[in-house]
Structure 1
């Protein structure tokens, strides 16, 4: 049932027979912003506002908003599974509206993530036959109700119809990168809900947590396809002896962030974000850093799988975070709680056990969640 059935119950044979894009299953509570409610930030047009049970989405089209909300829902499920906490609702915001991020948070969103949606509006369709047919139908509906059509109201309703029902040629599968979005939402959930940042912007990769833990929280939320790719790469690295020693891995800075020029760019971008509400960073990363980053991501997936298998505790990341956030180092946690958790009680023994596990061809699980 679409907006026209809610507004005008009769005379809709033409609109109801039109073929609209199928955006796929909608997440719980998904809807475009109701006409009778003010949008949270008035500077962003109403047609870009959507919401679901997990928060708001500001997107170019309904299909993109549906897909973004689905990915956010998946990140929420993973966060609940691995950290046994209730995630904080947040907003995914088209990067073109990034200057409004501070206003969106002030309006009640616990976090706001800017996201660059792909451009799925190739041309102005204000005068195409389909749009004109919708416009004429709306005008006829208003006139039949004894009202003189107001041009601004008509155009607003036309925009709403097009936002809710994009042309069939617009396919969500070709205009979105959902798995990357799920990963970034999971970062936000961890930083906002588990281990926030208390240091000046630009001085660290994520929050105050060790970078491996921050990254593990995001990698834990990735799709089955992305997880399978990480595991394949981890096996290859283990076979080639290219894994980072565990002691170094657990204390290292994220390889991509471990660059003074990039850190300075991020510091400047975050300062602008503080002053202006948001800033978009564009920078080059060397091939060497990209390679180091791939190792870091793959090893994080393997390390997470090892922890889940050996401890049998799906909330092991949350348990570690709680203890380490209160001042304990990983080594101290391991000495005090490692044996009870099913792990060796010293770093030396843990390193040997992890390397032996990584070298086993069937060490990694076939399914994502343990």
Structure 2
């Protein structure tokens, strides 16, 4: 499968300025979880040393990629817990000089909730077992993804707390918030997002929004139907919800992640700046819209000054890179 040339750039590891020094696990009477592992870019908490090391690994891996795309890497805490309230986690982080706290599920709890969600969806035992066999790989992807969301919020929107009820993540456009998290994932996981988008674009082209509509679109999880499905699924005491989707049961869900990633790669390649999301995010954090940023600063970054012109560039780029992979491979030497 051909993927954009810049996608290969997103797999590079770069120095993020991390040193052997970093935050130290504080001695407190009531820690977020029993075991703490300190890493250069944060603290990893879990019920066991093995899980805490997994969380520390996710912090480090996400930090490397975050530095590639956003420069500075915030220092925070990743806490694997089914019961810790995210507000309590945030307060703990602030009390100890950390910039964010992300609560997620331990492996065993995530596996249990996944199985419950699949049973509720009517999946048979064979399919459940097949899905659970891939759970370990998916855990690594999910941890890095969720840390990406948390790091992005900490840098650009430190005083906001997103929820499904008010908005998907941060005040940033949903595609940008999601792209920041997907860019933290492993190349194999990113490739799956791209494959889902390409499948939808080729077989259900009318479901793919144009660039102008896409940059203003809400995340598909904000749809009423999907919100209802989430509400019926398992939910941990810490607030993590889970559900199972199959096929294209929720409009746009299968392609949104891939289109978000492609949008980030398109902007980076077109501008020639692998950190183009930095000035865009800074402007939006300051109250501008993406369209206003294009009008004021797009030209300085090699981008057009309006969405109509950017739409034209996007259509041509998408045709070469995704819809006509043979042409794209010839133009860039092939991958």
* 1:64 maps to 2:27: no
Q: Which has the larger radius of gyration?
A: 1
Output the CA distance in 1 between the equivalents of 2:221 and 2:249.
6
Question: Which residue of structure 2 aligns with residue 101 of structure 1?
Answer: 89
Paired residue secondary structure (2:220): coil
Asked if 1:183 corresponds to 2:145, the answer is: yes
1:345 is displaced (CA, Å) by: 2.9
CA deviation map 1:232-286 (0-9, x unaligned): 33333443434211111000110112328839988xxxxx99xxxx534456778
Q: For the structure 1 residues 289 and 359, does the alpha-carbon distance in structure 2 shift closer, same or farther, using more than 3 Å as the test?
A: same
Matched-pair contact (CA < 8 Å) for 1:195–1:321:
no
- Paired residue for 1:136? none
1:221 and 2:181 matched: no
Is the contact between residue 335 and residue 345 of structure 1 (CA under 8 Å) also seen in structure 2?
Answer: yes
Determine the C-alpha separation between the residues in 1 that align with 2:66 and 2:333. 20
Structure 1 residue matching 2:108: 3-state secondary structure = coil
User: Who is 2:6 aligned against?
Assistant: none
Which residue number in structure 1 is paired with residue 288 of structure 2?
328
What SS does structure 1 have at the residue aligned with 2:78?
strand
Deviation per CA, 1:64-116: give whole Å up to 9, x if none.
2222211111211222221122x222111122341452553254133221111
Alpha-carbon distance in 2 for matches of 1:103, 1:80? 25
Which one scores higher on RCO, CA 8 angstroms, separation ≥ 6? 2
Q: SS of 1:205's equivalent?
A: coil
Structure 1 residues 196-207: aligned runs within 5 Å? 196=158, 198=160, 202-207=165-170
Aligned length: 277
Please give the per-residue CA displacement for 1:340-369, whole angstroms capped at 9, x wherever unaligned: 32223332222122112111125488999x
Cα distance in 1 for residues equivalent to 2:137 and 2:19: 22
- Aligned with residue 37 of structure 2, among 31, 43, 50: 50
Q: Within 5 A, what are the aligned runs for 1:130-145?
A: none
Unmatched runs of 5 consecutive residues or more in structure 2: 1-17, 110-134
Aligned to 2:44, what secondary structure does the other structure show?
strand
Given that residues 168 and 219 in structure 2 are in contact (C-alpha distance below 8 angstroms), is that contact kept between their aligned partners in structure 1?
Answer: yes
Out of 100, 116, 121, the position equivalent to 1:111 is: 100
Query: SS at the partner of 1:57?
Result: strand
Offset at residue 52 of structure 1 (A) = 1.4
> C-alpha deviations, 1:104-140, integer Å up to 9, x for none?
32541332211112229xxxxxxxxxxxxxxxxxxxx
Instruction: Check the 8 A contact 1:93/1:115 in 2, yes or no.
Output: yes
Alignment of 1:1-370 (within 5 A): 38-39=27-28, 41-42=30-31, 44-45=33-34, 48-85=35-72, 87-99=73-85, 101-102=89-90, 104-108=92-96, 109-119=98-108, 174=136, 177-196=139-158, 198=160, 202-240=165-203, 241=205, 242-259=207-224, 262=227, 278-282=238-242, 288=248, 290=250, 292-360=252-320, 361=325, 363=328
Find the aligned partners of 2:137 and 2:148 in 1 and give their Cα distance.
21
1:216–1:256: structure 2 CA closer, same or farther, 3 Å change rule? same
Q: Which runs of 5+ in 1 are unaligned?
A: 1-26, 121-172, 267-271
Q: Secondary structure at the match of 2:269?
A: helix
Aligned mates of 1:244, 1:92 — CA distance in 2: 35
Q: Secondary structure at the match of 1:119?
A: helix
- RMSD of Structure 2 on Structure 1 (CA): 3.8
Q: 2-side partners of 1:178 and 1:367: how far apart?
A: 29
Q: State how far apart, in whole Å, the 1-side matches of 2:318 and 2:291 are.
A: 21
The answer to whether the 8 A contact 1:357-1:363 is kept is no
Which shifted more, 66-75 or 184-193?
A: 66-75
Pair 1:214–1:60, CA change in 2 (3 A): same
* TM-score normalised according to structure 2 size: 0.70
Structure 1 residues 54 and 254, CA gap change in structure 2 (3 angstroms): same
**Distance (whole Å) between structure 1 residues aligned to residue 40 and residue 100 of structure 2:** 15
Higher mean alpha-carbon deviation, 336-345 vs 87-96, is at 336-345
